[in-house]
Structures are given as structure tokens and as C-alpha cells.
């Protein structure tokens, strides 16, 4: 099994090998009922975290070869997709129906300024742990950045530059060739074998960022060679914005701002004009014009506001209210089962609202409407976004809108 054209190892078009590579029909995977059993098996087999989202209608492009016509009937506990029962019923499908899948990454970058910079943490046996910085180099970092869809590695950081992690230390003496699709495939001392402590965590900075605002807001800067460059506001449009927001793990673009709205950058202004179609997974995959059309300075640096994937509603301000999360283009609520300060800390950090002051249940800020997206949320507290915390699964819950979770944050970055 493999995931193709998703920009990272844990996202893309689902393809299986049966003498040749083929795709899967989206009618096999019950999108409306959010039955995740098939997806859980694929994500597990890929060495990724649990499924985050299933996408139909060739969301990651049309595949080649055959479309697998048998209907999968996985129970969710199988070790690989070929162990799943299949139905004799067959659908009539084309590559316009190719199914795509987003799994949670098996690696993440924590406590950096964006999704693409921070302390390296890896998921193993359902638990996040850190990586020792012994022999940590740019080849190792290149694998992490590629796996996360974050472009090229800019720098490697050691000695817990992004702060100390907690819990287990999963990897030491990591030795990647640089071509691996995932950090877990690199050579190391072995899972849990190490001779270091949490003062020696490895870190990475990858090649796209928004500067001067929150995680999903700021001046657009793109890595060109080894230099961060800004982008001219005359050369940046809505399609380019969609790619940047997607690459950073944010929601859709809200506003594109010119005239150095987030301050003037330093260094060069990128001289190429981006010509993204809007469906690329990262900015470096976009076509570019090599003809300089505009004479720009840092007075023309473009800024971007992407939608956060979480919001606080009916609390009288941006930093207090009922917690709602964006999934599959629709806002929904969270159940308050096991809702605690660690979960709240992730929300407040993601919104740039400082520290969590209080957690509130029983729809303290009024009942929401629409879907209930998350239940039994269990964050470690170090996640960069609420969507990466473990939960019962998208749309799986045993509560109603009288039990919405709420948060009050301090209201400022500390």
C-alpha cells in the first residue's frame, strides 16, 4: 500500500499493489458515515498516526492503472489491508473517484514558530517521544522536512534549542541517507535505546514560514538556496496563498496583504513570479516564471492571513469561548469528556492567546450546532494544533451539544 501525490509520506491518493499499482473507489469508503476502519488499517500499515481525513473525487489527482473494484470491509484491527475481508459487490468507478487519505504524521516539530520548525518528536507504539541530537545532521533533517511536506531542511538545532521534551526518548544515533520517506526508516540505535537526556533534543527548521504574526499569519518567506527571501505582493495571488496555507497546516486563506503589512523583511526579494494552480502540496512544487515582471523592494513584501483550524466562539473575544474545529470544510464542536488544561493549552497556543486560564464544560458558552467532531480528546500539551491530539476519531462521540467544551485563555502571548 502507498499514499501518492500528497506531498508527505502520510497523505495522498490510496494505491494498492495487485500485480500492478491501482487506486481505490471513493464509494468503497463511506465518507458520509465516517467509517474509518479501512483508513485505520492503511495508516497503521504506512507507519503513520491515526486517520485525520478521507477525501474523495480524486482530491490528490487521478491515478493510473486499474481502479480496485472490490469493496473493502476492514474491521480496523488488521495489520495490513490484504487481511481485510472484501465484498463480492463491485462498483463502477473511474479515476475521477480515486480516494485520498490524510493520516496523522509519525513525526512532528514542536514549540517552533510554525508547523515546519521545532523539536523533533516521533510517534511509536501510540506514544510521542523525542530524538537525541547525537550525530544529528542535515541528511536527517531533510527526511523530516520531506515527510512533513515542509520543503527543504534549512538548519539543524541541538541541545534542546526549542525547549526540552518530556516522556520517552525514542531515537538516538540517527543515521539517515537522506532519501528515506520517513524518519522511522532511518538507522538508529533502536527504539528507546539511548545514552542522553531531554537536554539534548534534536530540532529542525524547514523551508517555508510566516513571520511577524501567529502560526497561521505573517509575512510570507520562502527558502531560496540557504537564504530566506520575501515575496513581492504583485507576484502573489489567491492560488499561491492556498498552497502556503495548506503547507503550513492551516485553514484556507482569509486575506492576502501587500505593502509590508507584517513589516519589512531582510535579505532578498524573490525575483520569480509564483504561478501556483492552488492544488500543490507545497510552494516549491508550483510553476514559476523566470521573467522578472516587477521591480520590488521590501516595501512590497506580501503578508498572508490563513484561517486557524480551531476557534473560540461566543466568549466575548477571540481568546475565550466554545471550542470549535474545522474539518472537511465544516465547523463543529468538541465534547467535554476528559477535557482538561493540557488540551486547553494547545488551543490557546494555536490561537496565539497565551496560556490556558480555565477549562469549561457543559456548554458554558452556549450549545453549538452542526457536527460534533471530537470526543475524548487527549493532548500531551505540546502539540502545535488541536487536530494532532489523539481523540475517539473524527465524528465519533457519545455526547450532545449540551456538553460542548470551552476554554478561557490569558489573551496574550507570554
DSSP collapsed to 3 states, 80-142: CHHHCCEEEEECCCCHHHECEEEECCCEEEEECCCCCEEEEEEEECCEEEEEECCCCCHHHHH
Residues 6+ apart with CB under 8 A from 2: 12, 15, 17, 21, 46
| pLDDT band at 32; cut points 50, 70, 90 | very low
Burial of residue 153 (CB within 10 Å: 0-12, 13-18, 19+) is buried
Instruction: Report the SS3 class of residue 61.
Output: coil
- What is the reported pLDDT for 72? 74
Q: Is the pLDDT of residue 30 over 60?
A: no
pTM of the model: 0.48
pLDDT at 345: 93
> Helix, strand or coil for residue 143?
helix
Gap between the Cα atoms of 109 and 146, Å rounded: 12
If you count DSSP H runs as helices and E runs as strands, how many of each does the chain have, helices first?
4, 28
Position 130 scores a pLDDT of 96
Q: pLDDT per residue over 287-312, tens digit each? A: 877 665 667 899 999 999 887 788 89
pLDDT tens per residue, range 244-270: 887 776 778 888 999 999 899 988 888
Give the best-scoring range by mean pLDDT among 153-157, 189-193, 204-208.
Answer: 189-193
The confidence band for 413, taking pLDDT boundaries of 50, 70 and 90, is: very low
- Residue spans of alpha helices (H) in 222-271: 238-247
User: Tell me: the pLDDT tens digits for 309-358?
Assistant: 888 999 988 889 999 987 766 789 999 999 999 999 999 988 878 889 99
Q: Note the pLDDT of residue 149.
A: 72
Is the pLDDT higher at 399 or at 100? 399
Span 34-80, pLDDT tens digits: 457 788 888 888 877 777 777 777 878 888 888 877 777 787 778 78
At 250 the pLDDT is 72
How many angstroms separate the CA atoms of 258 and 156, rounded? 32
Amino acid at each position: 500500500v502507498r499514499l501518492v501525490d500528497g506531498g508527505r509520506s502520510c497523505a495522498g491518493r490510496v494505491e494498492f499493489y495487485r500485480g500492478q499499482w491501482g487506486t481505490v473507489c471513493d464509494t468503497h469508503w463511506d465518507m458520509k458515515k465516517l467509517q474509518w476502519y479501512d483508513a485505520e488499517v492503511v495508516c497503521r500499515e504506512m507507519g503513520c498516526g491515526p486517520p485525520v481525513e478521507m477525501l474523495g473525487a480524486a482530491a490528490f489527482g487521478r491515478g493510473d492503472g486499474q481502479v480496485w473494484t472490490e469493496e473493502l470491509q476492514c474491521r480496523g484491527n488488521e495489520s495490513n489491508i490484504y487481511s481485510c475481508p472484501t465484498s463480492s459487490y463491485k462498483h463502477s468507478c473511474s479515476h475521477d473517484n480515486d480516494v485520498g487519505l490524510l493520516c496523522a504524521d509519525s513525526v512532528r516539530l514542536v514549540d517552533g514558530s510554525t508547523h515546519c520548525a521545532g523539536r523533533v518528536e516521533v510517534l511509536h507504539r501510540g506514544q510521542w517521544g523525542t530524538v537525541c541530537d547525537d550525530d544529528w545532521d542535515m541528511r536527517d533533517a531533510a527526511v523530516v522536512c520531506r515527510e512533513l511536506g515542509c520543503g527543504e531542511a534549512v538548519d539543524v538545532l541541538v541541545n534542546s534549542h526549542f525547549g526540552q521534551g518530556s516522556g520517552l526518548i525514542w531515537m538516538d544515533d540517527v543515521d539517515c541517507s537522506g532519501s528515506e520517506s520517513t524518519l522511522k526508516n532511518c538507522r538508529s540505535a533502536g527504539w528507546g535505546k539511548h545514552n542522553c537526556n531531554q537536554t539534548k533534543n534534536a530540532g529542525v527548521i524547514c523551508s517555508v514560514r510566516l513571520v511577524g504574526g501567529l502560526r497561521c499569519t505573517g509575512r510570507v518567506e520562502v527558502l531560496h538556496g540557504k537564504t530566506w527571501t520575501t515575496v513581492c505582493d504583485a507576484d502573489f495571488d489567491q492560488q499561491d496563498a492556498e498552497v502556503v496555507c495548506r503547507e503550513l497546516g492551516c485553514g484556507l486563506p482569509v486575506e492576502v496583504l501587500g505593502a509590508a503589512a507584517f513589516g519589512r523583511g531582510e535579505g532578498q526579494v524573490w525575483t520569480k513570479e509564483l504561478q501556483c494552480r492552488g492544488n500543490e502540496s507545497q510552494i516549491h512544487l508550483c510553476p514559476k516564471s523566470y521573467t522578472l515582471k516587477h521591480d520590488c523592494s521590501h516595501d512590497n513584501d506580501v503578508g498572508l492571513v490563513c484561517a486557524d483550524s480551531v476557534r473560540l466562539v461566543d466568549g466575548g473575544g477571540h481568546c475565550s469561548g466554545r471550542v470549535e474545529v474545522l474539518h472537511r470544510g465544516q465547523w463543529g464542536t468538541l465534547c467535554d469528556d476528559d477535557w482538561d488544561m493540557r488540551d486547553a493549552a494547545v488551543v490557546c497556543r494555536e490561537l496565539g492567546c497565551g496560556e490556558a486560564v480555565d477549562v469549561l464544560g457543559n456548554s458554558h458558552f452556549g450549545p453549538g450546532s452542526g457536527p460534533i467532531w471530537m470526543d475524548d480528546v487527549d493532548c500531551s500539551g505540546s502539540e502545535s494544533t488541536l487536530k494532532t491530539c489523539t481523540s475517539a476519531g473524527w465524528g465519533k462521540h457519545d455526547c450532545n451539544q449540551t456538553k460542548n467544551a470551552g476554554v478561557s485563555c490569558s489573551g496574550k502571548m507570554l
